[in-house]
Amino acid sequence: MIVIAHVSDTHFDGGPRAAERSGRVLAYLAALPHPVDVVLVTGDIADHGLPHEYEQAAKVLAAVPGALTLPGNHDVRAAYRTGLLGEPAADGPINRTAVVGGVTLALCDSSIPGRDDGRLDDETLDWLRSVLTGTDGPVLVCMHHPPVELRSPFIDSLRLHEAQPLAELVEEFPNVVAVLCGHAHTPAATTFAGRPLLVAPGVASRLRLPWEGEDPPLDYDAAPGLAFHVLDDDLRLTTHYRFLS
């Protein structure tokens, strides 16, 4: 069994508010009497993709050593690489894997430079295929943009478009256990290509749903939250959500 703490959309902007909200979540995780196996942050790490925002992010994320991150639409690849990964600046997609307790996390870059909606480009799809063919073990596909509509017109217009190639990959590989996303700033659970699709709440703000009144679409007073994904040895996935007021 592994436990993944899934955090998303920290939107570090150099100011005290983002640092406090993310710090609250990470302090909670750091103080757990039984540490989780891994902390995953699914994008929009920085608010404007600026170097000083990644500097702030790196400092706050250091509360949980080994946290895994992937980029979102608010991130900028070159600054993300230098600020969070200690790699030379480069503009190509940031795709990485991590193996935790025998489970492969495929961290996909669904961002499109200069845009807010998402897409997996050919390089990323080829990379994901190579990850899936390279293991018989369970795989969690992780990316910023949900590849389906969540019934929120605001966020649905900014979802991962052209999701069919990803759906075909997921259908081809039964070892894909689930897809984990952020971006929507709302805890949500649905399905994609017959697998669970689980969305972490946003740290920075919470999405207002159509029936809650969408003007404005984001609630900045709502408590930050996170998801815990528990993957049993028999590959049954259970998700719990927590909010930290």
Name 72's Cβ contacts closer than 8 Å, sequence gap at least 6: 9, 42, 43, 44, 45, 110, 111, 144, 145, 182, 183
Written as six digits, the tokens of 82 are 């230098």
Nearest to Fe ion of 3, 145 (CB atom)? 145
Interacting span for Fe ion (CB under 5 A) from 19-27, 84-92, 177-185, 227-235:
177-185
Contacts with Fe ion in 109-168 (CB under 5 A)?
none
Q: How far is the CB of 43 from Fe ion (least distance, A)?
A: 6
Strand ranges for the chain from DSSP E: 2-7, 38-42, 68-70, 96-100, 103-107, 139-142, 176-181, 188-192, 195-199, 206-207, 218-219, 225-231, 237-243
Q: Does 72 bind Fe ion (CB under 5 A)?
A: yes
Q: How far is the CB of 192 from Fe ion (least distance, A)?
A: 17
For residues 119 and 147, give the distance between their C-alpha atoms in angstroms, rounded to a whole number.
9
The binder of Fe ion chosen from 29, 42, 44, 107 (CB under 5 A): 44
Q: Does 183 bind Fe ion (CB under 5 A)?
A: yes
Q: Does 73 bind Fe ion (CB under 5 A)?
A: yes
For residues 151 and 64, give the distance between their C-alpha atoms in angstroms, rounded to a whole number.
33
Instruction: Reduce the DSSP state of residue 168 to 3 states and report it.
Output: helix
Q: Does 206 bind Fe ion (CB under 5 A)?
A: no
Name 243's Cβ contacts closer than 8 Å, sequence gap at least 6: 201, 222, 223, 224, 225
Distances (CA, A) of 216 to 171, 209, 220: 37, 10, 10
Nearest to Fe ion of 125, 143 (CB atom)? 143
Nearest to Fe ion of 132, 207 (CB atom)? 207
Q: How far is the CB of 163 from Fe ion (least distance, A)?
A: 16
Written as six digits, the tokens of 231 are 């993957």
Nearest to Fe ion of 159, 195 (CB atom)? 159
Interacting span for Fe ion (CB under 5 A) from 6-14, 23-31, 100-108, 229-237:
6-14
The binder of Fe ion chosen from 3, 4, 6, 9 (CB under 5 A): 9
Interacting span for Fe ion (CB under 5 A) from 65-73, 78-86, 88-96, 165-173:
65-73
Q: Enumerate binding residues for Fe ion (CB under 5 A).
A: 9, 44, 72-73, 183
